[in-house]
Chain A
């Protein structure tokens, strides 16, 4: 094949890229642009709507439900992300080994990851119900006189959902940490042991710094997941968003406004755009903080 022949086939790379590009354009770029356009209209499911400028965003600002949803989603990030970064690392350090019992524990901790979110939700709903196992045990032990309202009280419902998120996410991030820990030079542990460091000091001064980049990545991933939490809150509240809608999250609000025969797709689009911007800011903030820390 001559050089000229190769140049004649300028389209070859595009041909290879075409399937992936088609998917990206069809399922990401076009819908994104369409959502942006929708957010400036009063479109409903059955009517295309007309341009209304920033009216949807003004309405959002005055919407109590949006304020509640944004508060809940941000609170989810604040509470869940630190646990998601730290707890799987500790767990990974504890199960990092080659014995059979550790292999069994690794599998057991990973099990919730492969379970359907609906099954997970049903398990936890039954556990946390006012007549569920947890309340029965608490009452039997004399810790409480009346059932704890894990699924009715505003804050308890939200924290219960966070517990479910952490329970299902631990195994996944544990595996990522295990992979990262495999890349730490064993000589560092030997040197630390020679210097008299015990398991805790080895963890703090060898393992944790050795997986810092992975921690940053997990921080980003878990922030995105936590901010757009849906399944856990949806299942635990029976799809209602909790008593008085006080546990609704941003993604649930988009689902409620943007689906069904009476869907207000323009308004749901505006919420999606705000969610996109907040997520972008959240990620940019995290990256800036991590870069700043790394450059020190």
Chain B
């Protein structure tokens, strides 16, 4: 408490809130077929990609401009922190970039506000160029079944185990836990042998964990969430039993994904659901842990989980034809393959996963990991429902923590989480 600024903060906050009524409203052109000449200037916004991939993107922009004389693409890259806030500010101010790098959850919110082009109406033929499941990730049943972004890159990842920790705590490393049942059993074994703050599991289940466990997350119409069913309760009860057996610390009940990764790097957590670039990260930042790491397929009772990034087109773009052309150019098979060879990601373009880069083994651990992940991508689906907002995700985590601490009944906690998530669905 430094200053008598009790009146300043509410005023600033109120001002911030005050600006929130601006913007919004769908444009009439969001569902009409895109026509017009590919020309003029557009803005293209990415998220945290300038650091390692500036040459790739500068080349991409130059190639597009050369192929389409008279066009200018202004590339803007936003820093990793606060990307959602930047999108929010742009959307509220009506200054969303023409082509924007976006996940399904943000696309859903912006599409609901009429800010994105509905590709199922403006460019229905584009669907065949992408993997059906990638195209469907941006198809929103509760918004009339429209599709609001061109699929770009995919990511998934296997399980990473700290074998030194497993050995120390009495868990066999051959075979490694491959199902949720074996994972929870190993977690309890570890809790029995290693008292303290080293555990198998480092984070509470997120919505995609429910999906991989086999819980039905939402009804087919996308009108209500259903993860509070008996299967969902069963999953949370497993976590509760693990916690009660000492297989999770109280600290882990408040951990986000970064906290789980940090704990794994510090050698305090045995299992990490990683991504295709986790190994590279571990080698660079936690070499001792990386040396003991064993990689095994993603733990799932169903299909593996994957994440997707897409390129959406602003429905109010002044150069819609150019924006659409550029989004399709950036997400075509050739450009996706080129990008995947620079970054540890996977293409969503149809047929791209058949490229030798994802099928031919050269014997190195990195290639082995890439091939396994690519195989998992072929089989994987995007579990996270686009209509499940990050606020709903936070609320779910809080409710599960209360249930595990015994402050709330598991069923009641999940019912509350579902009620909250339903409340955040678009109002009819």
Contacts and interface: CB of A to CB of B under 8 A. Distances in A.
A34 B391 contact: no
B4 interface: yes
A32 B11 CA distance: 7
B17 A46 contact: no
Interface of B: 1-7, 9-18, 20-21, 23-25, 84-85, 87-88, 91-92, 106, 109-110, 112-113, 115, 196-197, 249-251, 253-254, 256, 259, 389-391, 394-395, 397-399, 401-402, 405, 407, 424, 427
Nearest to A172: B2
B394 A256 contact: yes
By secondary structure, the A interface counts as helix
Contacts of B251: 130, 149, 151-152
Interface in A235-283: 237-238, 240-246, 251, 254, 256-263, 265, 268-269, 272, 275-276, 279
Contact of A34 (B4, B9, B14, B113): B14
B142 to A, nearest CB: 14
Contacts of A146: 196
Interface of A: 26-28, 30-32, 34-35, 38, 42-49, 80, 84, 113, 130-131, 146-147, 149, 151-153, 165, 168-169, 172-173, 220-222, 224-228, 230, 237-238, 240-246, 251, 254, 256-263, 265, 268-269, 272, 275-276, 279
List 5 tightest A-B contacts by C-beta distance, closest first: A224-B6, A46-B113, A34-B18, A31-B14, A169-B1
Given A32-B11, A130-B197, A222-B1, A46 B110 contact: yes
A226 B11 CA distance: 17
B88 A45 contact: yes
A262 B18 contact: no
A28 B11 contact: yes
Given A46-B110, A169-B1, A244 B253 contact: yes
A260 B115 CA distance: 16
A260 B86 CA distance: 9
Given A49-B21, A238-B256, A262-B389, A279 B6 contact: yes
A244 B1 contact: no
13 contacts: A27-B12, A28-B11, A31-B11, A38-B21, A46-B24, A48-B21, A151-B254, A224-B6, A228-B6, A244-B399, A244-B402, A256-B391, A263-B88
Contacts of B394: 240, 245, 256
Contacts of A221: 1, 3-4, 6
A46 B91 contact: yes
Contact of B24 (A27, A48, A84, A262): A48
